[in-house]
Homo-oligomer: A and B are copies of this chain.
Amino acid sequence: MSREADVSPAPVLLGLLMSQPRHGYELYQEFSRELGRVWRIGLSKLYAQLKQLEADGLVTARAELQATRPLRKIYCLTSAGQEAFLDWLHQPSRHIRDIRLEFLARLYFFRRLAMPGLEQLVAAQKAVCQAQVEALAGSTVEGDDAFGRLVIEFRQGQLRAIIDWLDRCLETP
Contact among B100, B158, B165, B172 for A146, CB-based, below 8 A: B172
Residues of B within 8 A of A146 (CB): 111, 172-173
Query: CA A1 – CA B38 in complex, angstroms?
Result: 10
Q: Which of A111, A161, A165 has the most CB of B within 10 A?
A: A161
Q: How many copies does the complex hold?
A: 2
**0 or 1 for each of A50-90: is its CB under 8 Å from B? (1 = yes):** 00000000000000000000000000000000000000000
**0 or 1 for each of A144-155: is its CB under 8 Å from B? (1 = yes):** 001111110110
A160 at the interface (CB under 8 A from B): yes
Establish whether residues A157 and B165, one from each chain, have CB atoms under 8 Å apart when the complex forms. Answer: yes
**0 or 1 for each of A90-111: is its CB under 8 Å from B? (1 = yes):** 0000000000100010011001
Contact among B147, B150, B160, B169 for A150, CB-based, below 8 A: B169
A164 at the interface (CB under 8 A from B): yes
Contact among B40, B147, B161, B173 for A161, CB-based, below 8 A: B161
Query: CA A26 – CA B100 in complex, angstroms?
Result: 36
Apart from A1-B41, A37-B148, A160-B161, list 16 A-B contacts with CB within 8 A.
A38-B151, A100-B154, A104-B150, A107-B147, A107-B150, A111-B146, A111-B147, A149-B172, A150-B165, A150-B169, A153-B168, A154-B165, A157-B165, A158-B158, A158-B161, A158-B162
